[in-house]
Amino acid sequence: MESTALPSFDSTIQFIKLPATTRPDTVLIAEPIIAEIISSQPDFPLPMEDPGEPTYEIRQTKDMGLGMFAVRALKPGELVLSERPALIFPTETASSSAIVAKQEIEAAFEVALDEMPTENRVAYRKLAKGVDVPHAGDLLRIATANNFHLPEKLPGGPTERWKLGDYRAVYLDISRINHSCLPNTIAEFDFASFSFVVHVARKISPGEEITIAYIGLLAAPKAERNRQLSFCMPACKCVACTNPAPSSDFAREAVASLRAWGIIRYLADNLDTPAKAFADMHQCLENIKDEGLQSITTYPLMLDICARIAAMVGDTELADKYRREAGMFYDMRPRCNWPRDFTEWIFGWGPRVSERCKWASSHFDEFQVLHDEWMAKEFGEAELGSITSSVT
């Protein structure tokens, strides 16, 4: 891996190149600390996963420019693609903006483009204006906190060092995936292979468009989602926005209200009658499927909870079925551990599970501390904290 200091910005930004064989190299414009972290990774980057048979093509959509389409039937859990970014650069809002001026980023970006194959430059420049770029923001911050072996000696003060801020990435193909409020895939950045990985969340037919989520999907009503999407489109053209089921907003609000604290309160009140609790949780799963929201993290959470309650009522066959499906969804998000931690925390108490929920439901502040720890792990804050304190 090459790391080249830019002559004109050598104290603030650096280039790192991750060589590729069949595609353009990844060019990363980053602060020296990132360059240092990356260069210190043993065997970095690991090879990317490969779906084997081709899964997609890029072509025109009816009304959203280019898009990605399945070239064959794809099953839940299948890999659609892994792709390294062609270019990563800090945004203006990156914490690095304190030391890296907007003009410097822009100038460095132009230098990076000069390094690229001519035919890609126009597209990158357009994509990088900030509109046509998928949600790669924060990926470095998350990934460095979670997956990196850190250099032993960090230059400068520890706290600011780890606020690595917001980066944008441009991909040759992934940047062509359009948004849907009921996307059929789950997309995650995998730092070890330095690639964005897209898996199938529900059955995809040949010729169907492959979509991802640019925003959190439980926001409702649809006007709120469209407000959040306005950074890159005037109005979302997905079916949940153009032709929603009458219950769409209600279903999303209901699922959102069940997350974490809502689930605890529900279980505290209902686990003493597990057959009823199972029926309600099963209905919630059906609502998620009806709304096409299998890509949200609440889906494996509910599958896991259904598996645990099925086991409580002695239905081992059903419990296995739900556990397998939850496992498949958990595997698609290896970095997102909170639904597993959360479910294990509740049900790990065996026969005293109901008591556990009642305790949590009446000790909001204490439960909130645990909850924040689980969530923080997902976003890397927990590791961030321990890294910070170990170097202070």
List of residues contacting ligand SAM (CB under 6 A)? 64-67, 131-134, 175-176, 178-180, 232-233, 236-238
Cβ nearer to ligand SAM, comparing 64 with 101: 64
Q: Closest distance between ligand SAM and the C-beta of residue 164, in Å?
A: 23
Across-strand partners of 83?
196
Helix 139-147 to helix 381-391 angle (10° resolution) is 60
Q: Closest distance between ligand SAM and the C-beta of residue 175, in Å?
A: 5
Q: Closest distance between ligand SAM and the C-beta of residue 66, in Å?
A: 3
Cβ nearer to ligand SAM, comparing 24 with 67: 67
Cβ nearer to ligand SAM, comparing 161 with 179: 179
Cβ nearer to ligand SAM, comparing 176 with 202: 176
Peptide bond into 76 cis (omega under 30): no
Q: Closest distance between ligand SAM and the C-beta of residue 253, in Å?
A: 21
Q: Closest distance between ligand SAM and the C-beta of residue 3, in Å?
A: 28
Cβ nearer to ligand SAM, comparing 30 with 215: 215
Question: What is the number of the residue whose Cβ is closest to ligand SAM?
Answer: 65
Cβ nearer to ligand SAM, comparing 127 with 200: 127
Q: Closest distance between ligand SAM and the C-beta of residue 58, in Å?
A: 9
